[in-house]
Amino acid sequence: MIALPPVVEINPFVLIFPPSAIHLYFNIFMASVALYYYSNINPNSRPINVPTALLKQEYDFIIVGAGSAGCVLANRLTEVKNWTVLVLEAGGDETAVSDTPLFVGALWNSDQDWNYTTTPQRNACLADNEGRCRWPRGRGIGGSSTINALLYVRGNRMDYDNWEALGNPGWGYSSIFPYFLRAEDNRNPKLFQSPYHRTGGFLTVSEAPYQTEMVPAYLRAANELGFDILDYNGAIQNGFNIAQLTSRRGSRCSAGKGYLRPIRSFKNLNVAERAMVSKILINNNSAYGVEFIRENETHIVTAKKEVIISAGSINTPQLLMLSGIGPKRELRKFGIPVIKNLPVGKNLQDHVGVPLVFKVDGPYTINQNVYGTVDALLQYAENQTGPLTTASGFEVLGFFNSNTSGYGWTDVQIHIGSFVPTRQNLNLFEMVPLFLHPSSRGEVTIQSTNIFTPPLMNPKYFSRSPDFQMLLMASYIALNLSATLSLQEYNTTFFHEFYTPCQNITPNTEAFLICVIEQFTFTIYHPIGTCRMGSPKDPTTVVNPHLQVHGIKNLRVIDASVMPRITSGNTNAPTIAIAERASDLVKLYWNETTGVIL
């Protein structure tokens, strides 16, 4: 058995994905399973990275960013065979590590991550350096779908009805639901015959092949508190169940693997990796191309029809502002000519959670070392089974309404997982609660005219007090779950010793829990809203309901940044559905047939 290395620091990311442990697994993995690397991540199946000299001077569409949205758009727009499409991606392709569900932590601070940190927060992420929350964001083919926790959550139907009520006709639940179905290839025999799921789409959804013996206890505990066990992506969201994952045969199904690889040989598609777009070219309020940097040289490519920005909720507003579209006060600070004064970068929203770690003992113990055995590595390498197929260790998800928030839909989510390596030989599991409808709003701003200088990200966590109180309430519900008979069979106790900065506070008190929240809060990976969609008459919006930038022809934003409000759950599946629907909007605009009636 391979011993887990010691945890050298206590912070939210270490609690969930200890880098030292993950890198140990990675080294063993790469040394012993090269065969898997070449069979499942075969270079012949990768998107073809076109050299700069072979790129055309002009395409019908230029897509900036090959993330969750950009890969979908490339796939759907190339369905029109007389359209030419160029995808410009700042990073490279996926790797064997990103393909392995449990190895998420090894990807952070890697070449596949933008390595972002926020500005210092007043009462969140205080265990991190200077209170700067770490914000992993995917950099490369597949974007954040390549380095996220694989959790497939559509959100609540009221999320989308609310979008429509905010001035976005066509974005209600009845309109977007067909696009969730169109995207999905559900491999779960318990679900794919449901009217809420289907097979045959590009995005594979399934459960992890491996589950610990604690999973039934987690579900019994939820049921004991009165929560239903149900399909939270079905008719009713409120309830608990085993996590649904963007997983295919035990490995990650990113947007790159799902949407871009199948069209790699299309003659009307070019993909250019390591190409950093530095400016959108605009003349007479019409976008006609982009400037990009590749191998230290600057190049220009033009678009006959549209430039589509799909760089994500951080990089999209940065690029727009550097191109002269954004708050005029911010642009003038850096001498950027203002082409269009719009609230780009505002309305930033995110889900923030807190890791609550529990110790168990009794008839069953969680063998943390099972994840680091040679047997586990070989199971994954040979059959894509075993512990490495788990979604970052998370096994169960729960959603419910607190009945105290004033919202009429799901407002709390809890992740439950059995993988918490420590320096001690302990049996631990964790729950990560979060409040789904934060009232706090942050912003993204630029700090330089250089595209390679990261923008400033200030989520302003807990800047409105109800958010903190709601997370505190959600944490108490997690503690109540741990106190159920189903989990007390394992002598479950809150593991106070994990939280070193709070050791001077009496355990099992509200003051202790408040300290844990302030010190160990971390992003749940869901920044959205920085290019909000809505009516051009609404001064808080950047794009119209067809996702066209206000006042600029032939320029759209299609990614998570257009969401007016954050969805009730993980945001990758909604982003893919947005891109699916947006591809039909583009086709409709250019008088082409669409796959779904709009």
Active-site residue set: 526
Cβ atoms of 155 and 567 within 8 Å: the answer is: yes
> In whole angstroms, what is the distance from residue 180 CA to residue 244 CA?
14
Phi, psi of 577 (to 5 degrees): -65, -40
Alpha-carbon dihedral 59, 64, 65, 71, rounded to 10 degrees? -40
Instruction: Report which residue type is found at 235.
Output: A
Beta-strand relationship, 325-326 and 340-341: parallel
Cβ atoms of 345 and 321 within 8 Å: the answer is: yes
Contacts of 182 (CB under 8 A, 6+ apart): 201, 580, 595, 596
Cβ atoms of 370 and 385 within 8 Å: the answer is: no
- Among candidates 369, 320, 379, 377, which has minimal Cα distance to 344? 320
> In whole angstroms, what is the distance from residue 25 CA to residue 422 CA?
15
**271: enclosing H helix or E strand:** strand 269-272
Cβ atoms of 45 and 261 within 8 Å: the answer is: yes
> In whole angstroms, what is the distance from residue 187 CA to residue 249 CA?
9
Phi, psi of 117 (to 5 degrees): -130, 150
Cβ atoms of 286 and 553 within 8 Å: the answer is: yes
Cβ atoms of 444 and 455 within 8 Å: the answer is: yes
Q: Which long-range contacts (CB under 8 A, 24 or more apart) does 360-363 make?
A: 360/214, 360/427, 360/428, 360/429, 360/487, 360/490, 360/491, 360/492, 361/427, 361/490, 361/491, 362/489, 362/490, 362/491, 363/489, 363/490
Cβ atoms of 153 and 184 within 8 Å: the answer is: no
Numbers of helices and strands, H then E, in the chain: 16, 25
Q: What tokens appear for 451 in the block?
A: 């595209």
> In whole angstroms, what is the distance from residue 216 CA to residue 418 CA?
12
> In whole angstroms, what is the distance from residue 15 CA to residue 422 CA?
8
